[in-house]
Amino acid sequence: MPIGPANIVIVPQLKKGLLVRVRQGVLGTRALAVAERNAWYEKFHADCRAGRDVWHDDAGESRLAPSHVDVSFSVGKCLVVTASRVSPKRVGMSFSGRGTYCMVLDTVTGQEWLMNKRYLEVV
């Protein structure tokens, strides 16, 4: 990873349509689709009826489906940039960081992922 003066990490300049490669192991995040959340609820309710799970957490509140999913990408994985500057709020996350994140397309699965730019390099 290129490091500038005073150990500042240099973030690559990315543009839509560029091919990038993961240069360090990174997590990709994407929002769950409505169908995926419904499938989670169906499985959860089936598990509760069968006695394999309980409907509540430790505080007695009902459990909610996840709003996003994280997947680890290995070094060397090639992806295509679909948006060079995005906010994590785009996938339902509550923190800021508009300039450091981008949306990339996994050409194998066809899914878009939110990733931190500093872990990517232009091919």
pLDDT at position 96, please?
62
pLDDT at position 42, please?
93
Q: H helices within 7-106, ranges in order?
A: 34-50
Question: What whole-number percentage of the chain has pLDDT above 70?
Answer: 83
Dihedral (CA of 89, 93, 98, 101) sign: negative
Residue 3 has pLDDT above 60, yes or no: no
The superfamily (CATH) of domain 1-31+70-123 is SH3 Domains (2.30.30.40)
Question: What whole-number percentage of the chain has pLDDT above 90?
Answer: 33
- Residue 119 bridge partners (DSSP): none
Query: For residue 34, how far is the Cα from the chain centroid?
Result: 17
What average pLDDT does this structure show over 100-110?
A: 90
* Domain spans in the chain, listed from the N-terminal domain onward: 1-31+70-123, 33-66
Residue 89 has pLDDT above 80, yes or no: no
Q: 52-72, pLDDT tens digit by residue?
A: 888 887 777 788 888 888 899
Residue 4 has pLDDT above 60, yes or no: no
